[in-house]
Amino acid sequence: MYTIIGCGNANRSDDAVGVHIAQTLRVRLAHQAAHVRVFDAGTAGMEVMFQARGASTLVIVDACRSGHLPGSIFRVPGAELEQTYSPSLNLHDFRWNHALTAGRKIFREDFPKTVTVFLIEAGSLELGCELTESVKHAAHRVVEDILQDIGQHTQQAYQQPDPSYDQQQSHQHEKVSLAGSAQPNVNPAKQAEALTMQAGLDLKNLSIRNGHLHCPATVHRYYLHGIGSVALLPQQQDLLVLPLMGSSVGGVLVKQRNSEGDCTIALDEILQRHTLCPSLLGPATAKLLGVRWDTERAALVLPQLFEVSELTSGLPKKMGKNYAAGEVDTIYR
């Protein structure tokens, strides 16, 4: 398994370069079903440790401050940067370099043996959501380097599939797993076609439980492009789920809940203003019927979610357009 983890603070200008690269790779690899996972860990070092587990090859991308010219790129073996964590009262102090040391001790053989770290020299760490020009250029170069490396890794993967993954998935060999490996000697075009078919079938498996939308991995990757945040827009009785391009846009986080890539989306904010239909309330899992992808609005449509009495109460207005009247502004480009 080839795993990429982007790190950084999305609100500190160039410190977000790892996050930007992770988001870019998620889009570029949206239909890549072979041995690749991409995560945006933000500033959560503990998340790096757990997401790295089970990978054979790990790539970490982050910003650095070393005194070199902004945009300078350093490719460093992970072993050179591993560091033992000194316990403190602040978990924010536990960074990805501590995660490499701790993960190797805790997970042992289940932790990646090959670790590469891309560090990009930051030009600005001031509050802001945009990268400086030199760091943008460096980010593009790193993305291309990683894609090239993935291409070489994928060729090897087709010849030698991950045995541990095949063992885990043997009980559901007919299901396309987004977080999984490609089967040997399978045409990538046919695999993409299988992913498309499975994603369409899995639209029937979206459900709501305890105020969270549960989304199969195939739907997240194929329809939402594997992106880590979405916009939730109520429209009459329906709810639109729109993928948001770019980490600086905001929105509601999409959280991965298992190794196969299935996700959950919290509906808390929406439920503060709207009431779910009685059949969707309670701790039991409620399957959603009639979920579809609307190409014109670039959104998943979850139909008949809200009670009729909630149709026009509390719906936001923006730029003179009324969501209750069925008008939705373009959220991303």
* Lateral strand order in the sheet of 212-215: 286-287, 207-209, 212-215, 263-266, 252-256, 229-235, 238-243, 299-302, 292-294
Q: Hey, where are the domains in the chain?
A: 2-159, 197-325
Q: How far is CA 238 from the centre of its chain?
A: 25
In CATH terms, is domain 2-159 a member of 1.10.260.40?
A: no
Least confident of 134-138, 157-161, 250-254, 295-299: 157-161
What does the alpha-carbon distance between residue 74 and residue 55 come to, in Å, rounded to a whole number? 22
Residue 133 has a pLDDT of 94
pLDDT digits (tens, 9 = 90+) for 166-218: 443 343 333 333 333 344 444 555 555 665 677 778 888 898 888 889 999 88
What's the farthest any 2 CA atoms get from each other in the chain? Answer: 61
Residue scoring higher pLDDT (13 or 315): 13
**Residue 290 burial class via C-beta count within 10 angstroms: exposed 0-12, middle 13-18, buried 19 and up:** exposed
Residue 151 has a pLDDT of 81
Residue scoring higher pLDDT (139 or 308): 139
- Quick one: which of 285, 282, 287, 288 has its CA closest to 237? 288
Q: What is the mean pLDDT of residues 78-85?
A: 84
Residue 201 has a pLDDT of 80
pLDDT digits (tens, 9 = 90+) for 282-291: 666 778 888 8
pTM for the model: 0.51
Residue 74's region, left for phi above 0, alpha for psi from -120 to 50, else beta, is beta
Residue scoring higher pLDDT (186 or 64): 64
